[in-house]
Amino acid sequence: MNKTELARKIQDLDGLSNEEKTALLELIRGHKKYGLVWEDKPEDIEERLREDLPVLVERNDEKVHPIISDNPDAPNHLIIEGDNLAALTELSYTHAGKIDVIYIDPPYNTGNTDRDGGFVYNDSFVSADDDYKHSLWLSFMAKRLKIAKQLLSKSGLIFISIGDHEMSQLVNLCKEIFLESNYIETYIWVSTNRPDNSSPILRRNAEFVLCVARDAKAIKEFRGVVSASSGMPSLTKAKEKIKTITFPANSVRTSLPDGTYFAGIKDNGRNPQWELVEDVIAKDGLFTTSVILKGHSYWATDKKIKEELAAGTEIWIKSDSFVPYYLKTKESVNRPTKILPGDIVKDGLYANTELNAGIFHEKVFNNPKPSTLVQFLINFVPSKTVLDFFAGSGTTLHAVMQLNAEDGGKRTCILCTNNENDICENVTYERNKRVIEGYAKPNGEEVVGLADNNLRYYRTEFLPRERSVKNMRELVQASTGLLCIKNDLYTEAPFGGRKMNPKYARYFENSRQRMLVIYEERAIPFIADIIKTMPEGEKIKVYVFSHGSYAYDDEFAEVADRVELCALPQAIYDAYQKVLPKRKPKFLVDDLVAEIVEYEYAEAQTALDFGTENEEGGDE
């Protein structure tokens, strides 16, 4: 098809307004010729983001408030209420390149016009017979996955739960956005062991989990099922020279009865024998005194003994022959199989029992995922920060906190969801509040809270996108939540012993870092003087209002070695600009025709230049 000729014919059509001609011309100027193709459909939130900028405001009221642990090193988890396209835009400033694992469970686009797998687009369910059913879903997902890619760290992974209805389209979409070389696998999750038998053809009992990497080459290995094996060999080795070895008090376990055991050579009915150098006392399965033995020892030094004890190796003396044994458990890590292990990840029935029956004692959410599934996936790779931008019932945060409790990790988790039918505050927040504080099961069993966690709740609000001085000042004034999240720093404190006027500046600090936000540039000389009097330490991250990118370096020149400067709102504009939808330009028909003609000419030139290979790919 000759696009130039078609564009000219459209231009010459009678009975069409300029707006209608423009719409037709925009349809034919798309350059894509192969791959996954869909018709982009604008969303209400996308249209709003053309005019407004999202910011985060912390919620602290009687119903929803921060939950703060007594542990100063507890991880800070976040819930962001609002459309996830806006939330991802906000995270493009706070977490670009910082997310290690993303898990999402988006709508499956089943065509149901209810909550059971149905897909809502612009406040309406998309029905099974909608001509744009797949286009709407692909358009919706593509916008979000493109931003998600920018949030992932170099070795980051994204896991996406999905059903049959959009699985093949999702695979192709992910290969297009992340590149085919970074597609890892489509895992199979057996979602039920009692599938519905109403269909005369098929009993569906499985769903899928896509795994895609930001850069597959940066991933060393996956951690799947961990199996443990142990043995209890003797420390006796006849070929070794006789050595004297000492085990500290309370470090040697024993099967012997309580009592005192006297020094001497111990007969074990065979050679070589061990000598107990000093008397020892056994009580409750432990020798409460140091145990000094002399014999043909496999371990040669006290240093070796300390290293083994520090690594968790157990020392045993089973009988009065005083032959020492060591018990060491070895972990064997198997790579994940395509079918996820059901005994570990569980199924949908387990998830319903865990959430609806166990935590809430009533049905509050349809088709939740089990926290064990998400926990297993997150543990594929080491991670510090986990994101779920289709948070639903809040399973991912529950999984992260469980995993931290099991392995001593300090992972942080960010959840994003809208508050349709009050789900964010009544289910997402409330569930994880109970997990932190503890709750009772219906049978009265008390579940101890995972108290070493902080949880904060933010709501998305909007400010005008147009760059006027008034709007810029309002944006900086409203950016404190973004800055606290970006720096993982929430404790406000006096600055240089002085209480700051929040209209002019606010100061935050903890044991690791310091942050100052200056809303009014006229306060800079006063603040610079205070910094001169403060004791040296970690550099203060200073965010300062500026009309451009100048961060008042000259004004802070005398304390330049104590501060790290950043001009606002320019830094926010720069980050948002990479992900925000473009404002709709008011094209003239002649401009569009000219653009199409120019493209057709460039395309012809490319066809003639057949000797040059142009391969696209890599990072954006």
535 lies in some domain: yes
- The DSSP bridge pattern shows strands 259-261 and 291-296 to be unpaired
Residues contacting 324, CB < 8 A, separation 6+: 234, 235, 236, 245, 247, 252, 274, 291, 293, 297, 315, 316, 317
Same domain, 356 and 217: yes
- Number of folded domains in the chain? 4
Same domain, 548 and 443: no
Q: What local confidence, expressed as pLDDT, does residue 5 receive?
A: 72
Q: What local confidence, expressed as pLDDT, does residue 30 receive?
A: 56
Nearest partner of 223 among 119, 375, 346, 107, judged by Cα: 375
- The DSSP bridge pattern shows strands 206-213 and 183-190 to be antiparallel
CA distance 476 to 489: 17
Same domain, 499 and 590: no
CA distance 398 to 371: 6
Sheet-wide strand order for 152-162? 52-58, 454-464, 76-81, 412-417, 385-388, 99-104, 152-162, 206-213, 183-190
Same domain, 312 and 339: no
pLDDT along the chain (620 residues), means of 10: 68 74 66 59 90 97 96 96 97 98 91 57 54 78 97 98 92 95 96 77 86 96 75 83 92 94 84 88 94 87 87 90 86 84 94 94 93 96 96 97 95 96 96 97 93 98 96 97 98 93 95 95 95 90 97 96 97 97 65 57 47 38
Cβ density class 478-494: b for 16+ within 10 Å, e for less: bbbbbbbbbbebbebee
8 Å CB contact between 428 and 418: no
616 lies in some domain: no
Same domain, 237 and 90: no
Q: What is the DSSP string of 15-64?
A: S--HHHHHHHHHHHT----SSS-------HHHHHHTTEEEEEEE--SSSS
Q: pTM of this prediction? A: 0.77
Identify the domain boundary among 333, 349, 384. Answer: 333
CA distance 144 to 135: 14
Question: CATH number for the domain including 105?
Answer: 3.40.50.150
- For 537-591, the three-class secondary structure string (H helix, E strand, C coil) is CCCEEEEEECCCCCCCCCCCHHHHHHEEEEEECHHHHHHHHCCCCCCCCCCCHHH
Q: Which two tokens stand for residue 413?
A: 């988790």
280 lies in some domain: yes
CA distance 290 to 317: 13
Supply the range of the domain harboring residue 265.
Answer: 228-333
36 lies in some domain: no
Taking every pair of C-alpha atoms in the chain, what is the biggest distance, in angstroms?
A: 114
8 Å CB contact between 513 and 489: yes
CB atoms under 10 Å from CB of 246, counted, come to 13
How is residue 492 annotated by DSSP?
A: B
Q: What is the DSSP string of 149-204?
A: HHHEEEEEEEEEEE-GGGHHHHHHHHHHHH-GGGEEEEEEEE--SS----SSS---
Identify the domain boundary among 333, 358, 377. Answer: 333
470 lies in some domain: no
284 lies in some domain: yes
Same domain, 554 and 438: no
Residue 328, classed as helix, strand or coil, is strand
Same domain, 138 and 93: yes
Q: What local confidence, expressed as pLDDT, does residue 266 receive?
A: 85
Same domain, 23 and 56: no
Same domain, 355 and 313: no
Same domain, 209 and 129: yes
Strand partners, 186: 210
Same domain, 169 and 250: no
CB atoms under 10 Å from CB of 566, counted, come to 17
349 lies in some domain: yes
Strand partners, 54: 462
Same domain, 178 and 126: yes
50 lies in some domain: yes
Phi-psi region of 285 (alpha: psi -120 to 50; beta: other; left: phi over 0): left
